[in-house]
């Protein structure tokens, strides 16, 4: 006898059994489920009673009924407890601008789930069954029209770029534009993915070395342009950013002045609506717009937005190189590996990667080589008891149900894209040595996935580091690294400078940190696990009393050109104006052929 497996509140407990067949759930761009209009229990968008109905059958029937084409995707196949009543679930998305077909009503998933709890008799058996299985695939809904090799949003080409957003008014031009910096990039950035020698700007008493690659990466450019475009496209509507768009306060503040609201901080703390006196999360709904930042979002945050009927797919600005990491983690999980994520567990990108990875594989986060060594001790431990004791520090950085005896046998490494390449490779090399010691050289390839070596490193992070390394080869009096206080990739650039120059390397946010030629307000980034989580500013000696000075200036991937220009302008302003060569002369030199 077929039977219906349901929650205790299910009407199936006292009613007819669930029959075999297939169900098609069609969602609109706001992730709302299309339910047939009319009286009686709520039903699925489309249902076929015959078992084994294929996606093309459902697509054809839907087209016959509505005249609209969709591409159904399997959401859940029968099996396990449902084996005696096989009901296959398919999902499909309407086109972004497709009208709701006549005879159907769009209902938010959150509203349906709430009603399911409060009034279970309002649903047909098939829709009740589908809603009970919904948590397993809810975050897939906005992306049902994407294949395994598709990206949420690919980088724009130069021709596709919206350059107008950087020059819309004086405030934008001051923040984003600099003829001098743009000329440097035009001349030195011959290829997007490979670095060259630095540009040298000789102003007379001070010379500046600027790496061939610094500042905005393509992912940041895309996110910024889409944020300004979204504000312009939605007058009269509330437009939210899930959290900070990028880790730069000047960019985030400029967007805030133009009307952008923020749902939560970069640490996930809800932000209050100053008028209502309660978190924005309490009121955000289907008439609002929410942009997902370049770092991506956790499944938990996406689920909350999807349930409220918010069109996150259209406004998802996740960097495709971050998404590349997610795809690698999924592939490793499908191949039976545990995913080791080299990242800072408190960083938005690592949170999003961890959330995505745990869908497909046991996952664990290691911050640095020191933590990788501790993980190696767990792997090499003598017996389960010792292994579990050594694993305790990782208890809050692994997926639910993680078993160190079972889940540390086969490993693959992915990384937070903003970290140092050499650190990721060092972690992989250490785990390789550990697995060889534990299992032997002959079976090493089975226990550590060799394809993880460099597979998920961000080219923009790497080329910025390569370009900086070339610039650091010259004799320098000091180095200034410019970026937000919570910018991980900026800190990695600072670390490279500090290794070369010691206390002559400075981490600053803008020209306001430059007090004089003698004093600078340097930011101490909270890197080590024992550091204060907020970091702190400290005033330090700045430049030596000799001329000419040779300074290196670079910026993180979220640092606008205008801020770099202001830093150079501030330092030049500490010298008598008559001693400083005019910018026009330097521009002419940059543009002159070699």
- Roughly how many angstroms between the first and final C-alpha of the chain, as a whole number? 85
Residue 314 is assigned to a structural domain of this protein: no
Please state, in angstroms and rounded to a whole number, the distance separating the CA atoms of residues 158 and 304.
35
Residue 152 is assigned to a structural domain of this protein: no
Please state, in angstroms and rounded to a whole number, the distance separating the CA atoms of residues 162 and 111.
38
Please state, in angstroms and rounded to a whole number, the distance separating the CA atoms of residues 494 and 503.
11
233 shares a domain with 212: no
In the block, tokens 């069954």 appear at 129
134 shares a domain with 17: yes
pLDDT of residue 1: 30
227 shares a domain with 193: no
Q: Where are the alpha helices (DSSP H) in 297-420?
A: 299-307, 320-334, 348-357, 369-379, 384-391
Please state, in angstroms and rounded to a whole number, the distance separating the CA atoms of residues 459 and 438.
33
E-strand spans in 394-477? 411-415
**Domain range spanning residue 550?**
178-216+461-591
243 shares a domain with 195: no
Phi–psi pair at 167, nearest 5 degrees:
-135, 25
Domain boundary among 418, 437, 457: 457
Residue 96 is assigned to a structural domain of this protein: yes
Strand order in the sheet with 239-241: 261-262, 239-241, 289-291
450 shares a domain with 488: no
| Average pLDDT along the chain, 594 residues, taken 10 residues at a time | 34 56 94 95 90 81 94 76 66 93 97 96 94 92 93 89 92 94 88 84 97 92 94 96 91 94 94 97 96 95 97 95 94 96 94 96 97 97 95 96 97 91 91 97 93 72 92 97 92 96 98 98 76 78 96 96 97 97 90 58
Residue 580 is assigned to a structural domain of this protein: yes
Neighbours of 255 (CB within 10 A): 23
In the block, tokens 């992989």 appear at 428
* Structure tokens, 159: 């021709």
Assess contact for 338 and 363: CB atoms under 8 A: yes
E-strand spans in 52-188? 73-76, 87-93, 104-107
Please state, in angstroms and rounded to a whole number, the distance separating the CA atoms of residues 22 and 90.
7
Phi-psi region of 236 (alpha: psi -120 to 50; beta: other; left: phi over 0): left
pLDDT of residue 376: 98
In the block, tokens 């009924």 appear at 65
254 shares a domain with 202: no
Please state, in angstroms and rounded to a whole number, the distance separating the CA atoms of residues 375 and 356.
22
pLDDT of residue 8: 35
385 shares a domain with 473: no
Domain boundary among 265, 286, 307: 307
449 shares a domain with 358: yes
395 shares a domain with 363: yes
In the block, tokens 């009121």 appear at 283
Residue 151 is assigned to a structural domain of this protein: no
Residue 158 is assigned to a structural domain of this protein: no
Residue 408 is assigned to a structural domain of this protein: yes
**Residue partners of 190: CB distance under 8 A and separation at least 6:** 196, 212
CATH number at residue 33: 3.90.79.10
CATH number at residue 474: 3.40.1010.20
* Structure tokens, 180: 């001098």
Domain boundary among 411, 433, 457: 457
The total number of structural domains in the chain stands at 4
Residue 557 is assigned to a structural domain of this protein: yes
586 shares a domain with 472: yes
Please state, in angstroms and rounded to a whole number, the distance separating the CA atoms of residues 488 and 506.
15
CATH number at residue 295: 3.40.50.11270
* Structure tokens, 412: 């693959």
365 shares a domain with 241: no
Q: Which residues are catalytic?
A: 349
Burial (CB count <10 Å: 0-12, 13-18, 19+), residue 266: middle
pLDDT of residue 535: 83
Going 382 to 387 to 393 to 399, the CA torsion angle's sign is: positive
In the block, tokens 């040779």 appear at 550
261 shares a domain with 190: no
pLDDT of residue 10: 40
pLDDT of residue 9: 38
Phi–psi pair at 384, nearest 5 degrees:
-60, -40
pTM given for the model:
0.89
């Amino acid at each position: 006898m077929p039977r219906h497996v349901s929650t205790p509140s299910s009407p199936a407990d006292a009613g007819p059994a669930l029959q075999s067949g297939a169900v098609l759930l069609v969602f609109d761009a706001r992730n709302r489920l299309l339910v047939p209009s009319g009286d009686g229990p709520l039903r699925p968008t489309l249902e076929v009673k015959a078992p084994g109905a294929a996606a093309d059958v459902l697509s054809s029937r839907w087209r016959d009924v509505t005249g609209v084409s969709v591409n159904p995707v399997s959401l859940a196949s029968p099996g396990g407890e449902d084996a005696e009543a096989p009901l296959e679930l398919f999902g499909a998305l309407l086109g972004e601008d497709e009208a709701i077909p006549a005879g159907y009503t769009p209902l938010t998933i959150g509203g349906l789930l709430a009603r399911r709890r409060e009034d279970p008799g309002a649903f047909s058996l098939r829709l009740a069954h589908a809603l009970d299985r919904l948590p397993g695939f809810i975050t897939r809904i906005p992306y049902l029209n994407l294949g395994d090799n598709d990206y949420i949003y690919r980088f724009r080409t130069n021709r596709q770029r919206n350059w107008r957003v950087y020059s819309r008014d004086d405030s934008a031009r001051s923040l984003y534009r600099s003829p001098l910096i743009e000329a440097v990039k035009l001349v030195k950035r011959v290829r997007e993915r490979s670095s060259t020698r630095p540009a040298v700007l000789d102003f007379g008493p001070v010379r500046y070395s600027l790496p061939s690659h610094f500042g905005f990466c393509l992912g940041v450019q895309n996110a910024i342009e889409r944020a300004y475009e979204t504000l312009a496209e939605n007058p009269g509507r509330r437009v939210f950013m899930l959290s900070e768009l990028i880790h730069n306060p000047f960019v985030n503040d400029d967007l805030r002045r133009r009307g952008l609201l923020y749902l939560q901080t970069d640490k996930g703390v809800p932000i209050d609506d100053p008028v209502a006196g309660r978190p924005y999360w309490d009121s955000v709904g289907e008439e609002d717009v929410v942009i997902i930042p370049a770092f991506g979002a956790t499944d938990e945050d996406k689920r909350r937005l999807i349930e409220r009927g918010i069109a996150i797919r259209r406004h998802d600005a996740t960097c495709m190189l971050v998404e590349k990491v997610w795809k690698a983690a999924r592939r490793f999980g499908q191949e039976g590996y545990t995913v080791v994520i080299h990242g800072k567990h408190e960083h938005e990108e690592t949170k999003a990667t961890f959330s995505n990875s745990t869908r497909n594989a046991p996952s664990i986060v290691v911050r640095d080589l020191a933590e990788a060594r501790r993980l190696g001790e767990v792997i090499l431990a003598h017996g389960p008891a010792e292994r579990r004791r050594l694993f305790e520090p990782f208890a809050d950085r692994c997926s639910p149900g993680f078993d160190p005896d079972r889940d540390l046998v086969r490993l693959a490494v992915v990384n937070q894209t903003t970290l140092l390449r050499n650190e990721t490779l060092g972690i992989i090399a250490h785990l390789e040595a550990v697995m060889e010691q534990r299992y032997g050289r002959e079976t090493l390839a089975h226990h550590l996935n060799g394809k993880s070596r460099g597979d998920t490193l961000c080219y923009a992070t790497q080329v910025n580091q390569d370009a900086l390394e070339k610039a650091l080869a010259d004799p320098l009096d000091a180095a200034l690294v410019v970026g937000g206080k919570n910018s991980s990739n900026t800190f990695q650039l600072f670390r490279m400078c500090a290794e070369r120059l010691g206390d002559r390397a400075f981490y600053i946010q803008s020209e306001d940190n430059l007090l004089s030629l003698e004093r600078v307000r340097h930011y101490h980034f909270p890197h080590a696990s024992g550091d204060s989580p907020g970091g702190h500013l400290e005033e330090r000696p700045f430049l030596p009393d000799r001329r000419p000075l040779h300074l290196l200036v670079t910026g993180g991937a979220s640092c606008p050109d205008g801020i770099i220009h202001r830093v150079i302008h501030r330092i030049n302003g500490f010298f008598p104006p008559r001693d400083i060569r005019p910018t026009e002369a330097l521009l002419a030199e940059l543009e002159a052929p070699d």
